[in-house]
A and B are shown apart, each in its own frame.
Chain A
Amino acid sequence: MKVLLVDDEKELVTTLAERLSLRGWEAQWATSAEEALDRLKSEAFDIAVLDVKMPRVDGLLLKKKMQAMCPAMKFIFVTGHGSSQDFQTGASEVGADYYLVKPLNIDTLTAKMNEALRR
């Protein structure tokens, strides 16, 4: 399965991509919304993992744009909020079913990715 990781923390997405690759995922990354949208023009992904707070275009708006390009794509949000509950109001507005709090537990992340893809 092909996953696109989007976060302005480059060291985070590159390392996470490497770890997901070791687990059999085809993982790619982008460090901005603009880069993610560019990538989506030439490649298809099954799922995206998006940081909520990013410069210029945040994760919630990025999800809307990506979904308009790839309606079947699934999304998981990650946030630096204190708890996932703090983030739920904003997330529910864009129909985000899955959100995780940083720092991530990779087993939880992959479980949520599999769950989202099964839906």
Chain B
Amino acid sequence: MTTDSGLVGRAGLQFYGKMCASISHDIKNVLAVINENAGLVEDLCFAAERGKPLDPLRLKRAAADVKAQIRRGDEIISGMNRFAHSVDSDSVQVNLLEIIDLLAAISVRFAAMRGLTLQIDRSESGATVTTSPFLLLNLLWLCLEQAMEASGPDRKVALAAERISGGVCLRFRGLEGLKAAPLGGLSAEPAASLCCALSAEVRADAQTGEILVQLAGGRG
């Protein structure tokens, strides 16, 4: 396998664009809810000016909804900020639990659109690897897309990170519809070039219903 840097670059830009579009949709929804609550308060004030009594409980509920949306918006933007900073370095120590947390944060809308939930196994929190966080996220996203297609009837995809001999491994579990295939069933490109750039190996285990991403040189 060889790395096609142009192909990796194009795939990376597509991945970045896809995630930004999804995140912007989420932010639009947050703004839409805040907008309706602000509008409702205006409507109620307008009605009060015409003699209808104001209901303080309704106003409190509107304020609580706005606060909840601000918290939600802050979480979305924090995820977007972490994602944007993933391009800062081509080689940095990456905590794998943090990277799957970030993957789940930026992918949650894609999962929700398919009626799926993403579950993170937090039992192994110390596994790290020195790599490009952005390229790793891109490869993991391709795996997650494949995993979401193969999820079982419980509509869950579980993500886990762990240390293995000579490296680290990321697992996508609960994939009852998975078929054994080279590269875990991913399209040959850009997956092959990403694997080469990351010294990674992707494989699908149809028996256990898992896609495995192994990275050499990790640490526990």
Contacts and interface: CB of A to CB of B under 8 A. Distances in A.
Give the interface SS of chain A, mostly helix, strand, loop or mixed: loop
Interface string A53-88: 111100000000000000000000000111000000
Given A19-B40, A80-B29, A55 B35 contact: no
A51 B196 CA distance: 41
A55 B32 contact: no
Contact of B40 (A8, A9, A18): A18
Nearest to B27: A80
Give the interface SS of chain B, mostly helix, strand, loop or mixed: helix
A56 B116 CA distance: 9
Interface stretch (A38-46, A90-98, A99-107): A99-107
Interface residues of B, number: 24
A19 B43 contact: yes
A98 to B, nearest CB: 17
Given A15-B65, A80-B25, A80-B28, A56 B36 contact: no
Contacts of B69: 11
Interface of B: 24-26, 28-29, 31-37, 39-40, 43, 47, 62, 65, 68-69, 112-115
Interface of A: 8-9, 11-12, 15-16, 18-19, 22, 53-56, 80-82, 101-104, 106
